[in-house]
Amino acid sequence: MRRARIDPAFTTPYIAKTMAIREIIKIPDKRLRLKSEPVQKIDAGIKKLVDDMFETMYAAPGIGLAAIQLGVAKRVVTMDLSKKEEDHKPQVFINPEIIWASEERAKYEEGCLSIPEYYEEVERPAEVKVKYLDLDGKSHEIKAKGLLATCLQHEIDHTNGVLFIDYLSKLKRDRVVKKFTKAAKESAMKKEEA
């Protein structure tokens, strides 16, 4: 998948503190279908959540993560689209909202940390404009295209309880859900036996 260049003006400073790698919830976990609540106040708890999200996202490894994927129903998204050989360029989007989408469409192969090792081509608007808050509570707007637009739409979907498999045919979606439901049951049975 082609990587998009990110304007450094849109990155939020990220200072590593005590972070924790958290468990990423996976389908068929019903929490992934919850609509996340807006962040009312950017306090130490939200900043700790963001730190943990970056730590978890980098460890996975992934390029985007929504708080709900950690079981926290808050409208918080972290992303880093930098290439492996580049320095990290972490981005934080608090209460992100798509305020405009182009009629032009683009297809990207998408994957998701909550649906590991499964990828499908998804068609979405080629460009979007997103309004969001940074970690200092300042309001911003970003116009994005390419991979950045796709990732923003994918992660904002998570905050609304939507998964990328929802854009697939019913047959493909049902197959994926069935596979992960079976795996979850087998995992639960192994834990009970232990």
* Catalytic annotation present for 97: no
Could you say which of 23, 155, 186, 192 is catalytic? 155
For 63, other C-beta atoms within 10 Å of its C-beta total 21
Indicate the SS3 state at residue 82. Answer: coil
Instruction: Please tell me the distance from the alpha carbon of residue 78 to that of residue 97, in angstroms, as a whole number.
Output: 14
Indicate the SS3 state at residue 133. Answer: strand
**Which sequence positions are flagged as catalytic?**
155
